Structure 1
Amino acid sequence: MYSKFLILLLLSAFCTSCGSKPETTRPVTGTITESVYASGVIKGENQYQVYSTVNGLVEKVLVSEGDLVKKGTPVIQLVGKVAMLNTENAGLAAAYSRISANGERLSELENNISLARQKMNNDASLFERQKNLWDQKIGTRLEYEQRELAYSNAVNAFETAKLRYNEALKQLRFQEQQSQKNLQILQTSAKDYIIKSESEGQVYDILKKAGEMVTPQTAIAIIGDASRFLIELQIDEYDIAKIKIGQKILVNMDSYRGTTFEAKVSRVIPYMNERSKSFTIEAVFVKAPQTLYPNLTCEANIVISHKEKALTIPRDYLLDGGYVLLQKEKKQKVSTGLMDYQRVEILGGLKGDENLIKPQ
């Protein structure tokens, strides 16, 4: 009894399936728009993350979220007492190394030069006198040679005194320049403990609090334009060749549900993210919403092409390889054009009055 019932059920299902007719349609003329889907976020124009160039602990946060800042405005101060002390020591060393601070030493060397010059001139006179006497056969040769040796030694002493002065002056100038450079380096390092804004804008977010550790690898704040925003979108590598500057974009945001905003492509960044296999593009609103915030998420359709009168069929009627099914399951080759999520444009292969069969 059970087997008979099962056979009847299978026969009924078979007959029902045999009797069902396949879905059909005809090409229609209408509007079609081809677009590329993208997702992204809203960013402030010139938005950037603030980083520290040194490691340290946050001593004080100097601004609040929403504050307007100018270029060079202090944002966060790090604990930098050691750097300040090192800078003060370098300042003392620089002051001690100045030439003006070593006047006594240079004066002493100058006096030595003056004394050596006087002795050299005196020994020169005595030698000249003894030479004249020797030429007149007066005096001894020993006296003559002693005067000559004394004059030669005086000349050497004078040159040595000048050399010592010049060497001392050269050394003092080097020490002065070196200490000044060291002071500048430490002053620059000390300034690194006060992190400043790189451009004018609004503080979007403060990412660190007092007492937290800061490194050059971690952002401490986000700053961007206070009133101008742009759209940052991620484009798949397969679609990037279709994107051009100035193309129209239709943007939807969860914060403005039911409203579509128009934008246009303003920049294509010619670099692919190897991890996500995507490109980044930027766009600007044609007419921006009244209120925007950084990092609002959005979805967009970038209009690649648009045609008002196009012969189209549903996309699910198109077979792989560019064929459609006609009556009696005859395959017909067609050439296609624009394509959206539902329909595809037919450029050739159909007249427009054919009945198409939906592939099973």
Structure 2
Amino acid sequence: MKTMKILFSAILVIFMLASCKSKWDKTQPVVENISESVYASGIIKSRHQYQVYSKVNGLIVSIAVTEGDTVKKGDPILKVLNETSELNTENARLSAAYAAVSANTDKLNELKINIDLAKVKLANDSLLLFRQRSLWQQQIGSLHQVEQAELAYKSSLTAYNAAVFKYNDLQKQLNFTAKQSSKNLQISTTMSNDYTVKSDINGKVYSVLKKAGEMVNTQAPVAIIGDASDFYLELQADEYDIARIRLGQKVLITLDSYKGQAFEATVEKIYPIMNERSRSFTVDARFVTQPPVIYPNLTLEANIIIQTKDKALTIPRNYLVEDAYVLLENKEKRKVTTGLKDYQKVEIVSGLTAGDVIIKPVK
């Protein structure tokens, strides 16, 4: 029995020593490259992606596209009932045709004939006046005849000028009315065109939000359209990190759709206003390496690389004590100066060498 107790005690001591030894994990500083980054979440967006709105209220008559269709700029998306607008347009077209200068040539020709007649009479009265004055200079005839000839000439001149004025005035009036009617037709045509909702870009229809027979208004979108091949990243960066983000910085992207893969992007735009609700800034980034299959609104996580350093002396972050100390193998607590940090490693600027052995603190 005594021998069994001694054996049991020995086994217990060995077990305790083994447990104590395994509790203190060891490591040494490693010289390697390290990068410091800031975290940002976000979504993928199609380039030029926008929500399509109708310019008018009304009932949807027909929808010309479905999700996944490729459209060109100006292609119809849907049509809204516009009987009244079509009637107004037709009425404006009739008014424009009636007011056109070409439709009023008879009125102008009539006045032109009057001008020609007045011109002939003016020439005749001018000739008679010349003859009467010549005869009066030869003491033939009377002064009264000369005065009558002068009166007839002035009357013909006035009639001729009045005919020319009336012709020019009618021409101006017709031109004005024709242009005004043409503008009214353009306005009516434009208003009529507003009842057909069209695409503003060449792209793909990602979503159709309405159905034929539903009501549409100017406040609710009817579809979502974007570029079919060009995508970018819309990131949300915390207000505490935004001052460190710069254009052109490298971004590493992970997607739930591509587990275990990382994709590279670069910062291309920083919006200079903070969202007061989320206390974050919007940052756009463009892909350097893009996934083979991608869709708008996919969620992502991003690490924006702030700075990198080659051949840095690093240790695991969980070996730090109070963010400023490490434990040496002999349990000595030593102060260190840290530099760059990522999620797993930290740079040691001073306080350790590559030959030092440190132990992991017990939590």
**TM-score in terms of structure 1 length:** 0.80
Q: Which residue of 1 aligns with 2:17?
A: none
Cα deviations by residue, 1:43-75 (Å, 9 ceiling, x for unpaired): 233322222333333221111111122222111
Given the alignment of the two structures, is residue 47 of structure 1 paired with residue 45 of structure 2, yes or no?
Answer: no
Distance between the aligned counterparts of 1:348 and 1:306, measured in 2?
Answer: 15
Q: Which residue of 2 aligns with 1:159?
A: 161
Cα deviations by residue, 1:152-208 (Å, 9 ceiling, x for unpaired): 111011011111101111111121122112212221221121111122222110012
Aligned-partner SS, 1:172: helix
TM-aligned CA distance change 1:24 to 1:266, over 3 Å: closer
Cα deviations by residue, 1:226-271 (Å, 9 ceiling, x for unpaired): 3443332222233333344261413131x34x32232211522443
Specify every segment of 5 or more residues in structure 1 that has no aligned partner in the other structure, as ranges. 1-22
Describe how 1:186-225 pairs up with structure 2 within 5 A: 186-225=188-227
Question: Once structures 1 and 2 are overlaid, which stretch shifts more, 131-140 or 61-70?
Answer: 131-140
Q: Aligned partner of 2:248: which letter?
A: I
1:29: how far off?
2.3
Cα deviations by residue, 1:204-236 (Å, 9 ceiling, x for unpaired): 100122343434443221112334433322222
Contact 1:134 1:144 in 2 (8 A): yes
- Moved >6 Å (runs of 4+): 23-27, 325-331, 354-360
1:130: how far off?
2.1
Q: Aligned partner of 2:291: which letter?
A: A
Aligned-partner SS, 2:295: coil
Q: Which residue of 2 aligns with 1:73?
A: 75
Q: Aligned partner of 2:262: which letter?
A: F
Q: Which residue of 2 aligns with 1:150?
A: 152
Distance between the aligned counterparts of 2:337 and 2:204, measured in 1?
Answer: 53
Contact 1:261 1:288 in 2 (8 A): no
1:278 to 275, 278, 281: 281
Aligned-partner SS, 1:259: strand
Question: Once structures 1 and 2 are overlaid, which stretch shifts more, 183-192 or 270-279?
Answer: 270-279
Contact 2:270 2:284 in 1 (8 A): yes
TM-aligned CA distance change 1:286 to 1:56, over 3 Å: same
Q: CA RMSD in A?
A: 3.2
Distance between the aligned counterparts of 1:40 and 1:325, measured in 2?
Answer: 36
Aligned-partner SS, 2:188: helix
1:180 to 182, 189, 194: 182
Given the alignment of the two structures, is residue 110 of structure 1 paired with residue 112 of structure 2, yes or no?
Answer: yes
Contact 1:317 1:356 in 2 (8 A): no
TM-aligned CA distance change 1:133 to 1:79, over 3 Å: same
Cα deviations by residue, 1:272-296 (Å, 9 ceiling, x for unpaired): 344343122123161514x332212
Q: Aligned partner of 1:46: which letter?
A: H
Given the alignment of the two structures, is residue 233 of structure 1 paired with residue 246 of structure 2, yes or no?
Answer: no
Distance between the aligned counterparts of 2:113 and 2:91, measured in 1?
Answer: 33
Q: Which residue of 2 aligns with 1:36?
A: 38
Q: Which residue of 2 aligns with 1:19?
A: none
Given the alignment of the two structures, is residue 128 of structure 1 paired with residue 107 of structure 2, yes or no?
Answer: no
Q: Which residue of 2 aligns with 1:251?
A: 254
Distance between the aligned counterparts of 2:337 and 2:245, measured in 1?
Answer: 20
Distance between the aligned counterparts of 1:97 and 1:315, measured in 2?
Answer: 87
Specify every segment of 5 or more residues in structure 2 that has no aligned partner in the other structure, as ranges. 1-23
Distance between the aligned counterparts of 2:216 and 2:318, measured in 1?
Answer: 55
Cα deviations by residue, 1:70-98 (Å, 9 ceiling, x for unpaired): 22211111122222111111111111111
Contact 1:230 1:285 in 2 (8 A): no
Aligned-partner SS, 1:88: helix
Contact 1:236 1:279 in 2 (8 A): no
Q: Which residue of 2 aligns with 1:260?
A: 261
1:38: how far off?
1.4
Q: Which residue of 2 aligns with 1:137?
A: 139
TM-aligned CA distance change 1:166 to 1:25, over 3 Å: same
When the two structures are aligned, how many residues end up with a matched partner?
334
Q: Aligned partner of 1:136: which letter?
A: Q
Contact 1:56 1:78 in 2 (8 A): yes
